[in-house]
Amino acid sequence: MSLITVEGGRRLCGEIAVQSAKNSVLPILAATILSGDVCVIRACPRLRDVETATEILHYLGCDVHWEADDLVVDTATVDRCDIPENLMRQMRSSVIFLGAILARCGRADMSYPGGCELGPRPIDLHLAALRTLGAEIEECGGCLYCQGTHLRGREIVLSIPSVGATENAILAACGAEGTTTITNAAREPEICDLQDFLRKMGARVNGAGSSTVTVEGGARMHGCEHRCIADRIAASTYLAAAAATGGEICLREVNYRHVSTVTTALAQAGCRLRSEERMICLSSSGALRGISPVRTSPYPGFPTDAQAILMAALLRSHGTTVFVENIFENRYRHVPEFLRMGADVRLEGRVAVLCGVEKLCGTGVRATDLRGGAALVIAGLQADGITRIGDIYHIHRGYTRLVENLAQLGANIRYE
């Protein structure tokens, strides 16, 4: 399956369920280490990043196996506190294991993480938070050597609301003595999901979803069962694809509040949307219009992960849309691929100016990162002719059954 082939020109119509959120599953898999028991992740998506996380758990000594669509993790047998470089470099989120291993074992050794090349994403905030709790961290030769046998609750003040640093601080604080307060914490729904999971295990965590999270460390933890929230970026992808093709779709299992900035943008572009507690429906004529400037920012602002996806939906819109990327400096790597298809997008630093064109032409392109790859699929769905997308391993990092679901909705799409 080296290519995804898309023939444009078909409307997307129908109803599908949205997968569980990758960005919830990964920190929750790390959190299972704290239980020292058996945890079951219901309806866990079979993603490339999830496979990497399970390999890390196996390496640490855990028993991990699938039972149908559920992932069963037994962390009672953890006997290592290090992660080899080859596993760390497969995904950026591997760093989330740092706080959990430190809390469980009192020590953690690992290299710096890898992942999509979206520009500098230093883990300084992660390390500063752990040092505040009393961890001693030596950085040498691209590796981290962490000691934390006597972690103590403290006030952690994050300079920016980093999702990963918030999650690592929460996990490490579960193993610290006393109360930890995290100020300027990230507010993403995935933080709330992590809190829900930790509470099921017996942890005392409060405040997720706000800018202040408190953790009372030292709670006795145990195994549990959990189903993660729906993936808001996957939901945004299907909504954008339907909007671009003049389709009518309904998405099940989605909390509409989690995608409100994306649905607001699509409504401004001319789509009609209807939301219920766990469903979103969209209908579109396909004749979209340019919208007011889109500025990415931490939740509840417009998500950086949806920037490329919305841009793809607007490639044939009437008018001009300005995008301002405030999170990652290399988040426009998909734009040259759009230009190969006939799009009109001009870049100036962190600003992209999109002028809608009458038509796109299918051609050979390559996925440069996870969300950029999904954006190319959306572009191909509305292009004349055939689009062949290479380097699709990026897409497999975050989407399960993307091709199958789009085909179910009526797209002419397949693996080649």
Q: How far is CA 309 from CA 108, 191, 215, 245, in A?
A: 37, 23, 36, 13
**To which residue do tokens 């990415």 refer?**
296
CA dihedral 106, 130, 230, 13 (to 10 degrees): -120
Whether omega for the bond prior to residue 336 falls within 30 degrees of 0, making it cis, is no
* Calpha distance 112→252 (Å, rounded): 37
The structure tokens 């599908």 sit at 16
State how far the Cα of 378 lies from the Cα of 316, in Å rounded to an integer: 11
Please give the single-letter amino acid code of residue 305. D
User: What DSSP string runs through 198-250?
Assistant: HHHHT-EEE-BTBSEEEEETT------EEEPPB-HHHHHHHHHHHHHHT-EEE
CA distance 326 to 409: 33
User: Do residues 33 and 231 touch, judged by C-beta distance below 8 A?
Assistant: no
Catalytic residue among 116, 174, 224, 271: 116
β 212-216/143-147 pair status: unpaired
Task: Note if 116 is an active site residue.
Answer: yes
**Secondary structure class of 384 (helix, strand, coil):** strand
Active-site positions read: 116
